[in-house]
Chains A and B, each alone.
Chain A
Amino acid sequence: MAERVKELADFLLHAEESKKGIQPLTDQYPDLSAREAYQIQLINIQKRIDAGQRVIGKKIGLTSLPMQELLGVAEPDYGHLLHGMKVENGGVILFNDVMQPKVEGEIAFVLKEDLQGPNVTMLDVLQATDFVLPALEIVDSRVDNWKIKLPDTVADNASSSFFVLGERPVQVDQVDLAGVGMILYKNDKIMNTGTGAAALGHPASCVAWLANKMAEFDVSLRAGEVILSGALSAAVVAEPGDIFRTKIAHLGDVSVRFT
């Protein structure tokens, strides 16, 4: 393994633990590839697992056209969800545990069957889904001022930090996941609205992309995993004291507070 991959993994891990932001990895290594970035991500996830964390799912990022255009990419990216990243609905996130958090409303899939790419379709995803839940994702970047290019965010576990799930499971045949409306509130003010279609046209197509992408690394999605399928609107900056809530039509409400 290239020396710089290990070095950059340590650099990022230190930033996360010290909560001190770093310059983009791509400033130092402009030729850093997405493949190397995923290696960095995996090294740090393995260190978390060695320290007692468990992987409970994946998140998909860069699922909207504006975000892909902003970063100059043509496909999403993904990161790992660890059990320590899960916050109870209505719970609290300490500002000491984040750096420059932003909040997004999303639809979470919980799988009942493994999904092994390649050639996984949207229908395969729906068939393998146990249920869906409304979710808030708190994204964060260990890179100062979110000055990220694709390899920076991929290496940084797709800029993930915390997530909150609703507690009422809904079967996928009960809703049109592309059509459902999403409202994102900050302190009871409407910040953003969107629909499931904001995530690559349909949240299940994002999960299909993930299953097929992971096949490149010879990994499959596992029954029981939680998949955050992608933001349904632009992310909103959080500050101490803010209460965020998302309401997703037919799925329910989720909230979280920052202190």
Chain B
Amino acid sequence: MDIQRIAEEIDACQRSGKEMDKVTISYPSLSVEEAYAIQKGCVQHAIDRGDQLTGWKMGLTSRAKQVSMGVKEPIYGRLTQSMELTEPVLHLEGLIHPRVEPELAFVLKKELGGGEVTPRDVWAATECVLPAIEVIDSRYKNFSFTLVDVIADNASSSKFIVGDQGFSPYTTAWDEVGVSMMKNGEVVQTGAGAAVLGHPVRSVVELVKMLNRDGISIQPGSVVLTGAVTDAVSVSEGDRIAVQFDQLGSLRFRVQA
């Protein structure tokens, strides 16, 4: 198996918004380690073109999703500068079948690494928490994949937007934060922070442990998308998405061609 060649193929689809067959159709024995190597290779192509690694995202952080994928652990993906929306507009160009999910984002002020990290280490390294919306978009046909496929495809990372206002990590019970997502003015999903591994801080703990196995630490200034608070919702041209975070304001964008 040629990790670099698979990484190039996925990278091309990530750039062009072209669908592809699952990697496991050609390589049914693809391992988790190989899948992360493919992911790293894909993102390296973006970095070679001038993009920058700005953070990490966690996936499969809800019990329901882990059960549906038959796994006991979440997965991670890499976030780059070009994925971040700087205006409240999601352009569909280059996307295949985008879905949106509300999240809580941690911004770090200190390096976080090692295999023994605890929630209090995470708090000590956290500058602020931000409301966020992630746009996920699988490059695989019909948004259908196995665990290793989705890891290779950068955990379906596509775009994300975070709020302008940062919040102190200490004055909000992040597991109890209510999150209500509206599409075109109608409530389509609701949830609370606890949907993310019981508490979003646990997602950062898991991320640090998983990265440590791969010899990586999280750098100061990085953003971490901790995982979906609700199920993902499909979007198409003309949709208006608004997410209300209890006592933390709202975050919105519209979808354009």
Contact = CB atoms under 8 A, between A and B. Distances in A.
B63 A190 contact: yes
Interface residues of A, number: 23
B255 interface: no
Interface string B131-145: 000000000000000
A197 B245 CA distance: 11
Contacts of A191: 63
B198 A190 contact: yes
Interface string A238-250: 0000000001011
B214 to A, nearest CB: 28
Nearest to B176: A249
Interface in A64-79: 65
A121 interface: no
Contact of B193 (A179, A181, A198): A181
Interface of A, helix, strand, loop or mixed by DSSP: mixed
B173 interface: yes
B187 A201 contact: yes
Interface string B170-203: 0001011111100000111011111100100000
B247 interface: yes
B244 interface: yes
Contacts of A180: 178, 246
Given A176-B247, A194-B192, A249-B246, A181 B187 contact: no
B229 interface: yes
Interface residues on B, range: 20 to 34
Interface in A180-200: 180-183, 189-191, 193-198
A140 B191 CA distance: 24
B192 A181 contact: yes
Given A183-B176, A249-B177, A193 B247 contact: no
A193 B199 CA distance: 12
A247 B175 CA distance: 10
A183 B192 contact: yes
Contacts of B173: 249
A136 interface: no
B191 A195 contact: yes
Interface in B238-252: 244-247
Contact of A181 (B63, B179, B188): B179
Contacts of B176: 181, 183, 247, 249-250
A165 B198 CA distance: 24
Contacts of B229: 193
A179 B180 contact: yes
Contact of A182 (B178, B186, B188, B247): B178
A197 B243 CA distance: 11
A194 B193 CA distance: 9
B177 A198 contact: no
Given A181-B179, A195-B180, A189 B63 contact: yes
B244 A182 contact: no
Interface string A160-184: 0000000000000000101111110
Contacts of A25: none
A166 to B, nearest CB: 15
A179 B244 CA distance: 7
Contacts of B188: 65
A181 B244 contact: no
A232 interface: yes
Interface string B39-67: 00000000000000000000000010000
A248 to B, nearest CB: 8
B180 A190 contact: no
Nearest to B248: A179
A181 B177 contact: yes
B237 to A, nearest CB: 22
A139 B57 CA distance: 38
A157 B186 CA distance: 29
Please name the 9 residue pairs, one residue from A and one from B, whose CB atoms are nearest each other, closest first: A181-B192, A181-B178, A195-B178, A179-B246, A249-B176, A197-B180, A193-B192, A195-B190, A194-B190
Given A181-B191, A193-B191, 7 more contacts: A65-B186, A179-B246, A193-B230, A195-B190, A197-B187, A197-B244, A249-B192
9 contacts: A179-B180, A179-B247, A180-B246, A181-B191, A183-B192, A190-B195, A193-B192, A193-B194, A197-B187
